[in-house]
Structure 1
Amino acid sequence: MIIAFDAKRAFFNNTGLGNYSRNTLHQLFTFYPEHHYWLYVPSKRFKNKFTIPKEVRIATPNSWVGRLFPSYWRSLLINSQLMYEKPDIYHGLSNELPFGITSTKIKTVVTIHDLIFKRFPQWYKPMDVKIYDRKFSYAAQHADMVIAVSQQTANDIEYYYNIPSERIRVLYQSCNPLFFNYLNKTDIDAVLSKYNLPSKYLLYVGTIEERKNLHRLIEALHIAKIDIPLVVIGRKTAYFTNNVLPLIEQYKIQSQLHFLENVENSSLPAIYQAAKLFIYPSLFEGFGIPILEAQASGTPVLTSTGSCFSEAGGPHSAYANPLDSNDIAQQLTLLLNDKERRISMIEKGRAYAQQFNDKQCAENLMKVYEQLLSI
């Protein structure tokens, strides 16, 4: 089987969509090496060190027009190249397919991660909403199979784009095996020292933007009079300046907050494992992979009610209304005061996270490919 991928994000994106692309490809390379994998990228000026087996083919634009206009090639011109090279399947890993790909007669799969821009357009620039909607709707309507990363996303695809459920498969993401490896105290202390972190803290991981709701977590800490340090790992946006920083100054808790950006992936397991609690008060997600990372690391999780959070968090996480700072404060207090419950959450949460493993994810995806080619 020859499986082609839109692999741009794997080589040019270091966060969510890039991680998904790299993990998916790595799983297939590892568990199904007998197949042929072609990775289509607009250029070889890669922005990360994604390592691939030597047997995997990197495909770039085969015309000067495609090389001069890489975005145009990726969204349209690639069709003529695919028609000539004839892979069995083309998989768009990040929400889109080339316009007109049905003319190639190649079987197509697209992974759609979320439709947050449809539910909450106020969080996006109007032009971005139009662009996303055009790309996502085309991909969903023309793909032979749509992969949703959660049941919540599958429901949204069906609702907003009127896609029949028979053409949608829910395939959960895996949790990086790194997070299941327990580290010794020496290794953890070395990472904490590297980033100048305290020995005891609460943890938040995610971009600091409106959807992630960090300001209500800070309000909850103030309401509950919790003085344990909070470590925040994520890129700052205008929301930090406009909504988060004023609260920190108002409550005079500058010394309680530790902000980190550009943390190495290899350091994250130690930072999770040293945390007393992981708190993820997001308003809406496609899945919420940090919740799994925390559980795999043996860290109790407090996250939000609604959306997809129970899919990632399972029955052994704690939940609070993300729109209610008082509820977040109450749940935080209950967890911090109940050591036995935290111990139970650690054991059961870790077991829950183990079902989201690389092998299972690779098997589920290969079944989709095989089913398509048998039709």
Structure 2
Amino acid sequence: MKKILVNAIPMTVVGTGVGRYLRGLYVTLEKEFSDRLEISYFTGKSIVRNIPNSEGPGWKEALGRMLWRMPYPVAFGARLLSHLPIERRFRSLSRDYHIYHEAAYFPFKAAARMPTVFTIHDLSLLRYPQWHPRERVLYWRTFFKRRLGLADSFCAVSEFTKREMVEYLDINPELIRVTPLGVDTDVFNPEHDEEAQAVLESSGIPEEFILFVGSGDPRKNFDALVNAVEKTQCQLPLVSVGWSGWSSGHEKTIINMGYVSDRMLAQLYRMATMLVMPSEYEGFGLPVVEAMACGCPVVISSAAALVEVGGDAVIKVENVHDSNLLSCAIDDLAGSLSMQIRLSGLGLKRAASFSWCDTARGTAKVYLDDKYGQNL
């Protein structure tokens, strides 16, 4: 029995992509590999045996907003003061485990030199630091390169991310296993949810709309989408979903839902005329898969990871900064029911190829590798 220790702090924070990845992965690992893996979770306060619940929007999100408003040296100091006692706690608690899995910024230093598996989602902090708060970039730079050497094996969420890891981090490709994210078909499916529909309609959601899912992170290109929607002939309203520490400046011209539950998100996908994901850069692009699984037509940018995930089941816009090009793509899709039906069908087939079972099996192969013995 392999004893796995997971940094589960991202699972306690609402709405993070890393948290969604960890939850999808470990819910499945607990079901499929409980006879071979004993999994424990570090919450920042203690180690627990059960998958921790999200604490919901609260003080951590408020702290995030405060960090963005602070001068960056002060914000960096605050982040560092928060990190150091948590890492000390991790070191004191992380004894008697065979493997440590990290999926956030960089690995902690464990109490002993136990094998470490590090999942890397993207390299935006390295390649595009201008898209991130300065304190976050400084925090990452302070630790990442030094801690990278602690990892014995790596998981990448896409072939694109693996290529970048090899090119920009000089990691041996033989140490990297690609484990794409999956989709929870119990939640994200084309089956209409009347109760969720009623709640959304009471919140003022129109019958037809364009959907955007993501943070206000500049790389998401939300401004480009707003500009394109304003030029469309279809004049569909734009609904935005996702927590953000950024202010877009468009709060009065869009319907901003903020954070919503997965159940509500799935119904928004079903209701939407289309999802538009115009990101400049992604490591994977989970909203694309979730939307396709709900039968929602999808428009994407030419970002390599989105093209990899969407395949031929999406509409690709080569330059989303060309508002005329993006608005025409939106109008073409909005005005063609046959195109919507075709993309919906292709998307359902494409989404079926992304399974948390596959993610779990690929990750379990790393954990169960003979090179990671069970001697403590």
Range of TM-score over shorter length = 0.7 to 0.9
* Aligned-pair CA distance for 1:180: 3.7
Determine the C-alpha separation between the residues in 1 that align with 2:328 and 2:84.
51
Report the TM-score when normalising by structure 2.
Answer: 0.83
Where does residue 96 of structure 2 map in the other structure?
Answer: 86
Give the match for residue 53 of structure 2: 49
C-alpha change, 1:116 and 1:71, in structure 2 (3 Å) is same
> Could you tell me which amino acid in structure 1 is paired with residue 53 of structure 2?
K
Shift, 1:50, TM fit: 5.1
Which TM-score applies when normalising by structure 1? 0.83
Q: 2:304 aligns with which of 286, 303, 307?
A: 307
Letter of the 2:366 partner, please give it.
V
With 269-278 and 89-98 compared, the bigger mean Cα shift is at 89-98
Equivalence for 1:292: 289
Partner of 2:41: 39
Residue 87 of structure 2 aligns with which residue?
Answer: 75
Describe the SS at the equivalent of 1:114: coil
Change (3 A) 1:38 1:238: closer
Q: Whole-Å Cα distance in 2 between the matches of residues 332 and 19 of structure 1?
A: 29
Distance change in 2, residues 1:213/1:372 (3 Å)? farther
Q: Which has the higher helix share?
A: 1
Query: How does 1:220-239 map onto structure 2 within 5 Å?
Result: 220-239=228-247
Unaligned runs of 5+ in 1: 52-68, 249-253
Deviation of 1:235 after TM superposition, in Å, equals 2.9
Q: Which residue of 1 aligns with 2:119?
A: 111
Measure, in 1, the Cα distance between the counterparts of 2:216 and 2:331.
Answer: 23
Find 2:314's aligned residue among 303, 314, 317.
317
Cα distance change of structure 1 residues 372 and 337 upon mapping to structure 2, 3 Å threshold: farther
SS at match of 2:369: helix
Amino acid at match of 1:306: A
User: 1:10 maps to which residue?
Assistant: 11
Q: SS at 1:2's partner residue?
A: strand
Alignment of 1:79-228 (within 5 A): 79=91, 81-82=93-94, 85-99=95-109, 101=110, 104-184=112-192, 186-187=194-195, 189-228=197-236
The 8 Å contact of residues 175 and 356 in structure 1, kept in 2 or not, is answered as yes
* 1:157-202 deviations in Å (ceiling 9; x for gaps): 2222211111112110111224443333634531322422111111
Q: Is the 8 A contact 1:296 1:353 kept in 2?
A: yes
Alignment deviations for residues 121-159 of structure 1 (CA, whole Å, 9 cap, x no partner): 112233421321343323433311111112222222222
Q: Is the 1:158–1:164 contact (alpha carbons within 8 Å) kept by the matching residues of 2? A: yes
Does 1:267 pair with 2:264? yes
Distance change in 2, residues 1:78/1:273 (3 Å)? same
Structure-1 separation of matches of 2:361 and 2:98: 18
Match of 2:58 in 1: none
Change (3 A) 1:134 1:372: farther
Amino acid at match of 1:198: P
Post-superposition offset of 1:236: 4.3
- Whether the aligned pair in 2 keeps the contact of 1:3 and 1:88 (CA below 8 Å) is yes
What is aligned with 1:59?
Answer: none
Residues 23, 179 of structure 1: alpha-carbon distance in 2 compared, 3 angstrom cutoff: same
| Superposed displacement of residue 111, structure 1 | 0.8
Report the CA distance shift for 1:348/1:238 in structure 2 as closer, same or farther (over 3 A): closer
**1:28 Cα offset (Å):** 0.8
The answer to which structure, 1 or 2, has the higher relative contact order (CA under 8 A, 6+ apart) is 2
State the shift of 1:205 in Å. 0.9
Aligned-residue sequence identity (percent) comes to 26
For the residues of structure 2 that align with 1:199 and 1:337, how far apart are their CA atoms? 15
The question of whether the paired residues in 1 share the 8 Å contact of 2:115 and 2:372 is answered with: no
Cα distance between partner residues in 2 of 1:122 and 1:70? 24
Shift of the 372–133 alpha-carbon distance from structure 1 to 2, 3 Å rule, reads farther
Matched residues in 1 for 2:245 and 2:43: separation? 29
- Which residue is 2:59 aligned to? none
Q: What corresponds to 1:330 in structure 2?
A: 328
Equivalent residue of 2:149, what SS? Answer: helix
Letter matched to residue 230 of structure 1: L
The answer to which of 286-295 and 339-348 deviates more is 339-348
What amino acid maps onto 1:23 in structure 2? G
Looking at structure 2, the residues matched to 5 and 194 of structure 1 have their Cα atoms a distance apart, in angstroms, of: 40
Matched to 1:265, the amino acid is D
Distance 1:14 1:294 in 2: 16
Q: Any conservation in 2 of the 1:141–1:161 contact (CA below 8 Å)?
A: no
Runs of 4+ in 1 over 6 A off after TM superposition: none
Q: 5 Å matches for 1:272-283?
A: 272-283=269-280
* CA RMSD, Structure 1 to Structure 2 (Å): 2.5
Aligned to 1:342: 340
Aligned length: 342
